[in-house]
């Protein structure tokens, strides 16, 4: 059994929940409830227009919209609010040492999944095991760039034993055979009847840019695409053929809104849910939540850190390639002051890429090398590396020159933190200059991977973050910059451990591997840790069904059960 079945209730107690329905008196919606028989409509504010609706994007994207992907897609399994995999498109999940999950003496494996009867795509065409075979063929095609990513790098073959039986033959042991619907490990079927001819045409760009992935998308999830008004909104209708039952909310309208617009729409009652938008939560708590009009759940699923460029061809500051200077920089960041002044004390400071609310939290903490704010220690390390402060107060070396570098960040809500970090370092002897990446370039994967100094950004935390730091995940022109390892940091031992983590079936050994992986990342200062970013899910009081989930799970896992009362 996967280790995720061992999640206990105490994990959820750690998830930050700012407000619960039980603690908030129910008040009438600002919009009157729909009369009996009238379709229920939920309006949602999204931070950006989706780049794709696919369960697993074929091309690099700057921001994952898990709500949207969950609405239209269904996979082998889904993680519930305890982080436990539940069968979704299949009748049962494989059990180790049974016919459904066989491990052979040479290390190969075979897992068998029996699809539920009557599965249909949104266009009414039956979904079969052949669609999983086609999904694997698509994602493992070289021009797509996923062949070296999990789980496809471990799969030797996918076979349709019959229309309802999917057999996956693995090159090696793979622990997460029941986690193939998790964030970062998605293995979704694709409709062969719509895409088969296009893939076989051997016109990569045409296939990748097909309208299927956006305005003509067809999936298996609880909602089907009805209309996409480019630049404005997406409308979706409840899918009658959803395998877990027809959703209780009839229609969804997703409005593309910036933070200011989304806040105004929530206060005016125009939208009932905002997912992933960087809103002014303190104001909404006072003006919207306290009066009883809404609630908020904070989902701690993002790792925010300052990533150092490790590739000499791109790194413009030679001192940053010195590990001792990186440690001196880490010790000189006053995160407590940043939390107090910028985050109003609500930040969850991190010591590694793993959230303290993760199922791997204890293992990660055992391995994390920590860098508390300590200017004396910072100076000792700088001197050890051959640097002393010049007349201008900036550290300088006779051979490597001044510790001068650019710290880049995306335009938006993190800009105040970017300015704080640069000013903090200048004050403490390091010549840092902040640089804001324009929104138009923030979507460019090559620009995001070839920065010249440091890059301050956030991404999925926890196991996904660790596995994304392998040498095989380094973004390059060869893989169309799809790799999540933007810094180019590599370590042979880390690569071996990452590979072993996906192969090891024994839980205690996997925990030891995570401990050592975190130790390698932090002792080498692959990045300077900042915080576990929580994504706010703000929702109107009449909307029911949302629950807190661990970082590895999707907040909208049970969207088909949501209802408006």
Across the chain, mean pLDDT equals 88
Say which range, 41-55, 139-153, 427-441, has the weakest mean pLDDT. Answer: 139-153
Residue 254 domain-assigned (yes or no): no
Residue 249 domain-assigned (yes or no): no
Do the Cβ atoms of 119 and 125 come closer than 8 Å?
A: no
Residue 516 domain-assigned (yes or no): yes
Residue 264's contacts (CB-CB under 8 Å, 6 or more residues apart) are none
Residue 245 domain-assigned (yes or no): no
Do 163 and 82 lie in one domain? The reply is yes
Which DSSP helix (H) or strand (E) runs through 543?
A: strand 543-544
- Which SS3 state, helix, strand or coil, does residue 553 take? coil
pLDDT per position as a tens digit, 30-46: 334 444 556 799 999 99
Residue 333 domain-assigned (yes or no): yes
Tell me, what's the pLDDT at 481? Answer: 83
User: Sorting pLDDT into bands at 50, 70 and 90, what band is 1?
Assistant: very low
Do the Cβ atoms of 247 and 239 come closer than 8 Å?
A: yes
Say which range, 80-94, 245-259, 266-280, has the weakest mean pLDDT. Answer: 266-280
In this predicted structure, the answer to whether residue 556 has a pLDDT above a threshold of 50 is yes
Tell me, what's the pLDDT at 22? Answer: 34
pLDDT per position as a tens digit, 364-392: 999 999 999 999 999 999 999 999 999 99
pTM (two decimals): 0.77
Mean pLDDT of 174-182: 82
Q: What is the CA radius of gyration of the chain?
A: 24
Say which range, 54-63, 183-192, 440-449, 535-544, has the weakest mean pLDDT. Answer: 54-63
In this predicted structure, the answer to whether residue 13 has a pLDDT above a threshold of 50 is no
% residues pLDDT > 70 (the chain):
91
- Which SS3 state, helix, strand or coil, does residue 458 take? strand
Do 380 and 523 lie in one domain? The reply is yes
* Phi, psi dihedral angles at 362 (to 5 degrees): -65, -45
What whole-number distance in Å separates Cα of residue 264 and Cα of residue 269? 9
Do 412 and 548 lie in one domain? The reply is no
> How big is the chain, counted in residues?
565
Residue 296 domain-assigned (yes or no): no
Tell me, what's the pLDDT at 146? Answer: 82
Do 439 and 515 lie in one domain? The reply is yes
Do the Cβ atoms of 263 and 284 come closer than 8 Å?
A: yes
Do 554 and 465 lie in one domain? The reply is no
Tell me, what's the pLDDT at 37? Answer: 57
- Burial of 227 per CB tally in 10 Å (0-12, 13-18, 19+): exposed
Do the Cβ atoms of 75 and 64 come closer than 8 Å?
A: no
* Phi, psi dihedral angles at 527 (to 5 degrees): -155, 160
Q: Are strands 543-544 and 563-564 parallel, antiparallel or unpaired?
A: antiparallel
Neighbours of 34 (CB within 10 A): 12
| DSSP H stretches of helix in 101-257 | 129-139, 192-200, 204-208
Do 108 and 67 lie in one domain? The reply is yes
Tell me, what's the pLDDT at 445? Answer: 87
Residue 381 domain-assigned (yes or no): yes
Beta bridge partners of 256: 46
C-alpha closest to that of 414 among 372, 452, 455: 455
CA distances from 407 to 85, 431, 457 (A): 39, 10, 10
What whole-number distance in Å separates Cα of residue 565 and Cα of residue 562? 10
Here the CATH number for the domain that contains residue 510 is 3.10.105.10
% residues pLDDT > 90 (the chain):
68
Do 439 and 375 lie in one domain? The reply is yes
Do 305 and 376 lie in one domain? The reply is yes
Query: What residue numbers bound the domain in which 132 lies?
Result: 3-212+541-564
Do 526 and 556 lie in one domain? The reply is no
Tell me, what's the pLDDT at 10? Answer: 32
Do 178 and 71 lie in one domain? The reply is yes
* Phi, psi dihedral angles at 223 (to 5 degrees): -125, 145
The total domain count for the chain is 2
Neighbours of 38 (CB within 10 A): 9
Do 527 and 546 lie in one domain? The reply is no
Do 145 and 29 lie in one domain? The reply is yes
What whole-number distance in Å separates Cα of residue 544 and Cα of residue 36? 18
Here the CATH number for the domain that contains residue 34 is 3.90.76.10
In this predicted structure, the answer to whether residue 310 has a pLDDT above a threshold of 90 is yes
Residue 556 domain-assigned (yes or no): yes
């Amino acid at each position: 059994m996967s280790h995720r079945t061992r999640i206990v209730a105490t994990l959820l107690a750690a998830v930050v929940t700012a407000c619960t329905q039980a603690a908030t008196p129910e008040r009438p919606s600002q919009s009157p409830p729909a009369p009996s028989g009238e379709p229920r409509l939920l309006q949602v504010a999204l931070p950006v227009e989706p780049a794709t609706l696919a369960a697993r994007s074929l091309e690099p994207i700057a921001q994952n919209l898990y709500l949207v992907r969950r609405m239209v897609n269904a996979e082998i399994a889904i993680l519930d609010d305890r982080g436990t995999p539940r069968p979704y498109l299949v009748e049962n999940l494989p059990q180790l040492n049974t016919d459904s999950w066989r491990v052979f003496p040479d290390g190969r494996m075979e897992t068998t999944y029996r699809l539920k009867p009557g599965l249909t795509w949104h266009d009414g065409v039956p979904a079969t095991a052949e669609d999983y075979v086609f999904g694997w063929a698509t994602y493992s095609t070289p021009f797509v760039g996923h062949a070296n990513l999990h789980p496809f790098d471990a799969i030797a073959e996918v076979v349709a034993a019959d229309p309802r039986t999917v057999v996956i033959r693995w090159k090696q042991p793979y622990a997460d055979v029941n986690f193939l619907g998790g964030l970062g490990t998605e293995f979704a079927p694709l409709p062969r009847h719509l895409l088969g001819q296009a893939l076989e045409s051997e016109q990569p760009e045409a296939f990748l840019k097909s309208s299927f992935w956006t305005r003509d998308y067809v999936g298996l999830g609880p909602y089907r695409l009805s209309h996409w008004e480019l630049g404005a909104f997406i409308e979706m209708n409840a899918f009658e053929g959803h395998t877990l039952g027809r959703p209780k909310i009839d229609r969804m309208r997703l409005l593309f809104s910036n933070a200011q617009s989304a806040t105004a729409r929530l206060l005016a009652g125009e939208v009932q849910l905002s997912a992933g938008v960087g809103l002014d939560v303190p104001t909404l708590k006072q003006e919207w939540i306290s009066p009883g009009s809404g609630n908020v759940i904070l989902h701690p699923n993002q790792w925010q850190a300052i990533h150092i460029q490790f590739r000499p061809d791109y790194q413009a500051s030679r001192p940053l390639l010195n590990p001792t200077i990186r440690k001196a920089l880490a010790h000189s960041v006053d995160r407590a002051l940043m939390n107090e002044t910028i985050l109003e004390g609500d930040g969850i400071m991190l010591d590694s890429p793993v959230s303290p609310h993760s199922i791997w939290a204890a293992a990660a903490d055992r391995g994390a090398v920590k860098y508390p704010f300590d200017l004396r220690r910072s100076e000792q390390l700088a001197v050890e590396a051959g640097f002393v402060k010049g007349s201008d107060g900036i550290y300088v070396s006779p051979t490597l020159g001044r510790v001068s570098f650019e710290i880049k960040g995306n335009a938006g809500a993190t800009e105040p933190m970017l300015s704080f970090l640069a000013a903090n370092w200048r004050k403490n002897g390091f010549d840092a200059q902040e640089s804001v990446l324009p929104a138009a370039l923030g979507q460019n994967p090559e620009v995001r991977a070839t920065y010249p100094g440091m890059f301050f950004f956030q991404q999925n935390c926890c196991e996904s973050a660790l596995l994304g730091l392998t040498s095989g995940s380094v973004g390059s022109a060869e893989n169309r910059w799809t790799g999540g390892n933007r810094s180019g940091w590599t370590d042979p031992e880390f690569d071996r451990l990452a590979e072993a983590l996906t192969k090891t079936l024994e839980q205690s050994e996997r925990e030891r591997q995570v401990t050592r992986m975190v130790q390698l990342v932090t002792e080498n200062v692959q990045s300077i840790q900042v915080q576990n970013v929580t994504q706010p899910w703000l929702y109107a009081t009449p909307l029911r069904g949302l629950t807190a989930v661990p970082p590895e799970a999707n907040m909208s896992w049970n969207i088909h059960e949501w209802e408006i009362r």
